[in-house]
Chain A
């Protein structure tokens, strides 16, 4: 489920320990951005600064691409089918010197039956986790709506971002966390 040739030249993803560090850093960044958003919105309820934070929120949307799965080019193989472009003489690249997706071959990005089984397994886990998350956030909303403080209401209002993040990046995170060290092809 992990691409053998790392898409990042400064980082080898063959070892589980390294992958776990990436996942931990990823979630620290994501939750920090979410916390920062909550803090700024609480300071400026007019919403202007919250709107200004749309940029880091966009980062949140695109961060899962680093982990992979959602599209080709990340550490995890893309979950869907990879569409290959014809690389013959009729195909002109804007920058021929730049390697395509870190020179990862199409065969490396194609899922075999175990990859598909693993993909389905982690997506089911993420679906179940997000179901409980939605339930918990709904309870928070109800409590906040009844007699809760204003900050609690804001957390509930912005929590759709967290749910989206869980759906978009929890499957990849589980794969990166649980997949054992890569073996030698011998």
Chain B
């Protein structure tokens, strides 16, 4: 929950994304992702913080890199935390 709320913020761009979560899950560094999609690794950091909204092309490239549909990586609405998706809304971290 802590990780999700930290990484999914829209910042200035108004676009929510799961890049940081996906990167952590796949063990990919910012540098590796940046090289794969042809941007500077600093730009990946800006994207993760939500300080920059990617172009359509870059959004699709990132989604393709993670082999996911673009709506699974980017959204205009806040993402539901993964813990809620997996364990349901009553999981809530009470254990």
Q: Give A residues with C-beta under 8 Å from B.
A: 2, 112-115, 117, 182-186
Number of interface residues of B (CB under 8 A): 16
Contact B29–A186 (Cβ < 8 Å): yes
The CA of A109 and the CA of B39, in the complex, are separated in Å by 12
User: Which of A117, A182, A183, A185 has its CB near the most chain B CB atoms (within 10 A)?
Assistant: A185
Contact B31–A114 (Cβ < 8 Å): no
The CA of A182 and the CA of B43, in the complex, are separated in Å by 10
Contact A112–B43 (Cβ < 8 Å): yes
Query: Nearest B residue to A185 by beta-carbon distance?
Result: B31
User: Which of A114, A115, A186 has its CB near the most chain B CB atoms (within 10 A)?
Assistant: A114
Query: Nearest B residue to A113 by beta-carbon distance?
Result: B55
Interface: B52 (CB within 8 A): yes
Q: Give B residues with C-beta under 8 Å from A.
A: 29-31, 34, 38-43, 45-46, 52, 54-55, 58
Contact B43–A114 (Cβ < 8 Å): yes
B31: chain A residues at CB < 8 Å are 185-186
The CA of A119 and the CA of B28, in the complex, are separated in Å by 29
In the complex, what's the smallest C-beta–C-beta distance from A69 to chain B, in angstroms? 16
In the complex, what's the smallest C-beta–C-beta distance from B37 to chain A, in angstroms? 9
Count, A-B residue pairs, CB within 8 A: 33
| Interface SS majority for chain B | helix
Contact A112–B30 (Cβ < 8 Å): no
Additional A-B contacts beyond A182-B42, A186-B31 (18; CB < 8 A): A112-B38, A112-B39, A113-B54, A113-B58, A114-B39, A114-B42, A114-B43, A115-B40, A183-B30, A183-B41, A183-B45, A184-B30, A185-B29, A185-B30, A185-B31, A185-B34, A185-B41, A186-B29
Contact B29–A114 (Cβ < 8 Å): no
B58: chain A residues at CB < 8 Å are 113
